[in-house]
């Protein structure tokens, strides 16, 4: 029998009232098993952070229920939630959220102390965990002296220090370069598997798909069947088969984010100046997605994304 860690049942979240209501999450259900790594992808504004915040008891669903190890989170009183968040969840964020005045070890030990460990024990536990994550030589550094990858490893240590059941990560690789981001996510996966902890990651990052046991696609607040999604072979973007530009080659159908990518793939205009221009544009947009991350204040709707891509690729 498998053990369910997280059971999200028909959860919705609406923000605002009347004409200005936003249905950020609409009737989402998801069950995560112990030790399972789930990646939720989707365009900006599709509800990923809202859903993750509800899973971590940072936000109450408007309707539906969320159970963690059989206990209903939404039924708990506000007063109990901080303690649950501290002990049962580990949070990892895009911008690491380390306390700049504390050393690496203090950042991690503090969270163990808040959960009731004595100073010495918390310090020892933090030292052991940070050493395991390859940061034994950085224990007394301030966060400003660390690289992005090192900061994110400190954040992982902090997320793990209280032995949480569930680790929740929001765009954890957005501020890391592609290789480091992937390595760190592999490290997180290894720890989760070894220790039987469940992990839910929300991200735009195509490169971390392979570290997940399961990839789900959120679109406009609801899960979309992943089988309808395909990867554009030119720019590596996830595209919706129902709406994408497609082409047949060697008896197989391929799907593209734009006509530009399709032409590129088929070699049309491939030798002319436009072909080169498109190649460069696809390369730049791929790198921009890899390196920029998507901040909350840069939200784009699915329609805007489509418009921008169309303009970029000259669909
Ligand atoms: N506190 C809030 N009040 C009102 N609307 C909100 C609030 N938080 C989110 N929204 C809206 O809900 C929708 C989903 O937002 P959410 O932040 O969950 O998207 P996301 O998929 O995480 O996007 P991104 O990839 O840009 O981080 C958006 O339309 C957003 O504007
Ligand atoms: Mg978000």
Q: Tokens 């918390």 appear where?
A: 122
pLDDT of 85 reads 92
pLDDT tens, residue by residue, 77-96:
889 999 999 999 999 998 89
Greater model confidence, 197 or 311: 197
Greater model confidence, 141 or 314: 141
pLDDT of 61 reads 95
pLDDT of 239 reads 74
CA of 124 to the centre of ligand 2 (A): 34
CA of 272 to the centre of ligand 1 (A): 42
| Ligand 1, atom nearest to 202 Cα | 22
Are residues 139 and 208 both part of a single domain?
yes
CA of 53 to the centre of ligand 2 (A): 10
Nearest ligand, CA of residue 303? 1
With a Cβ cut-off of 6 Å, ligand 1 is lined by 15-16, 22, 24, 42, 44-50, 294, 296, 299
Are residues 55 and 182 both part of a single domain?
yes
The answer on pLDDT for 293 being more than 80 is no
Quote the percentage of the chain above a pLDDT of 90.
57
CA of 10 to the centre of ligand 1 (A): 19
Report d(CA 290, CA 277) in Å as an integer: 20
Report d(CA 185, CA 260) in Å as an integer: 32
Picking from 190, 224, 258, the residue at the C-terminal end of a domain is: 224
pLDDT of 286 reads 56
Nearest ligand, CA of residue 12? 1
Mean pLDDT of 201-220: 90
Picking from 224, 252, 267, the residue at the C-terminal end of a domain is: 224
Mean pLDDT of 202-225: 90
Nearest ligand, CA of residue 170? 2
| Ligand 1, atom nearest to 15 Cα | 4
Report d(CA 266, CA 285) in Å as an integer: 19
The answer on pLDDT for 307 being more than 90 is no
Are residues 150 and 291 both part of a single domain?
no
pLDDT of 283 reads 57
Picking from 170, 193, 224, the residue at the C-terminal end of a domain is: 224
Mean pLDDT of 269-288: 52
Mutate to test the pocket of ligand 1, among 48, 62, 201, 202 (most ligand atoms within 8 A of CB): 48
DSSP assignments along 96-163, one per residue = ----TTS-HHHHHHHHHHHTT--HHHHHHHHHHHHHHTT-GGGTT--GGGS-HHHHHHHHHHHHHTT-
- Looking at every residue in the chain, the average pLDDT score rounds to 84
1-28 b/e (C-beta count within 10 Å ≥ 16 → b)? eeebbbbbbebbbeeeeeeeeebbbbeb
Are residues 93 and 193 both part of a single domain?
yes
Tell me if residue 61 falls in helix, strand or coil. coil
Greater model confidence, 280 or 222: 222
Mutate to test the pocket of ligand 1, among 50, 52, 62, 172 (most ligand atoms within 8 A of CB): 50
Are residues 250 and 307 both part of a single domain?
yes
Are residues 267 and 126 both part of a single domain?
no
CA of 123 to the centre of ligand 2 (A): 33
Are residues 208 and 236 both part of a single domain?
no
Q: How confident is the model at residue 304 (pLDDT cuts 50, 70, 90)?
A: very low
pLDDT of 314 reads 41
């Amino acid at each position: 029998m498998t053990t369910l860690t997280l059971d999200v049942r028909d959860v919705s979240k609406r923000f605002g009232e009347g004409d200005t209501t936003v249905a950020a999450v609409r009737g989402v259900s998801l069950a995560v098993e112990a030790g399972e790594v789930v990646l939720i992808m989707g365009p900006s504004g599709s509800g990923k952070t809202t859903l993750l915040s509800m899973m971590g008891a940072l936000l109450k669903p408007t309707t539906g229920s969320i159970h963690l190890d059989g206990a209903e989170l939404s039924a708990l009183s506000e007063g109990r939630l901080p303690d649950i968040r501290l002990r049962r969840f580990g949070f990892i964020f895009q911008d690491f959220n380390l306390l700049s005045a504390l050393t690496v070890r203090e950042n991690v030990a503090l969270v163990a102390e808040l959960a009731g460990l004595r100073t010495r024990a918390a310090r020892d536990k933090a030292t052991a965990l940070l050493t395991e994550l390859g940061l034994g030589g950085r224990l007394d550094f301030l966060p400003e002296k660390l690289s992005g990858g090192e900061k994110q490893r400190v954040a992982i240590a902090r997320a793990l220090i209280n032995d949480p059941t569930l680790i929740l990560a929001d765009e954890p690789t957005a501020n890391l370069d592609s290789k480091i981001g992937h390595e760190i996510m592999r490290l997180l996966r290894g720890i989760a598997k070894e220790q039987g902890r469940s992990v839910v990651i929300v991200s735009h990052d195509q490169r971390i798909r392979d570290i997940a046991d399961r990839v789900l696609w959120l679109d406009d607040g609801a899960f979309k069947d992943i089988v309808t999604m395909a990867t554009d072979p030119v720019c590596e973007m996830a595209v919706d088969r129902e709406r994408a530009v497609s082409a047949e080659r060697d008896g197989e159908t391929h799907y593209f984010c734009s006509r530009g990518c399709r032409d590129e793939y088929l070699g049309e205009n491939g030798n002319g100046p436009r072909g080169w221009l498109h190649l460069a544009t696809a390369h730049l947009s791929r790198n921009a997605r890899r390196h920029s991350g998507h901040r909350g204040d840069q939200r784009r709707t699915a329609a805007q994304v489509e418009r921008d891509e169309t303009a970029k690729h000259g669909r």
